[in-house]
Amino acid sequence: MSKILIVDDAKFMRMTLSNILTKAGHEIVGEGENGKDAIRLFRELQPDLITLDITMPEMSGIEAVKEIKKEFPSAKVIMCSAMGQQKMVVEAIESGAKDFIVKPFDESRVIDSVNRILD
């Protein structure tokens, strides 16, 4: 069982991801609403994996992934993006994200991505 941190400004998206991952046997150790939460909670909880929404208020997922990777080079990050955010997804991957999943979430795609990165 892996410890996962979910960061998304939409509570519904956090709930959806949380349900998918819990059902797959993972433990959700925390949830955040923006990039600042992501960095603070990552430091605090040191999860095995973090899912980050790209577009959030206060600080974007891309800014957060850069900060997290600077402090924790081995951090495992999956970006969550809406359709049509390819340019941002590329930037996120270049900034250190390991993979991305597209909203609305496809359960099997989410689980495949998480399992591949945690292996």
> Residue 94: what pLDDT?
95
What structural domains and CATH numbers belong to the chain? Answer: 3-118 (3.40.50.2300)
pLDDT digits 0-9 by tens, 38-78: 999 999 999 999 999 999 999 999 999 999 999 999 999 99
Does the pLDDT at position 85 exceed 80? no
For residues 65 and 77, the answer to whether their CB atoms sit within 8 Å is: yes
| Listed residue (58, 61, 48, 47) closest to 93, CA to CA | 61
Task: Give residue 92's pLDDT band: very low, low, confident or very high (50, 70, 90).
Answer: very high
> Residue 87: what pLDDT?
87
For residues 110 and 20, the answer to whether their CB atoms sit within 8 Å is: yes
Helix ranges restricted to H, 46-77: 61-71
> Residue 1: what pLDDT?
85
Query: Tokens standing for 114?
Result: 């998480």
Strands, DSSP E only, in 36-109?
Answer: 49-53, 77-81, 99-102
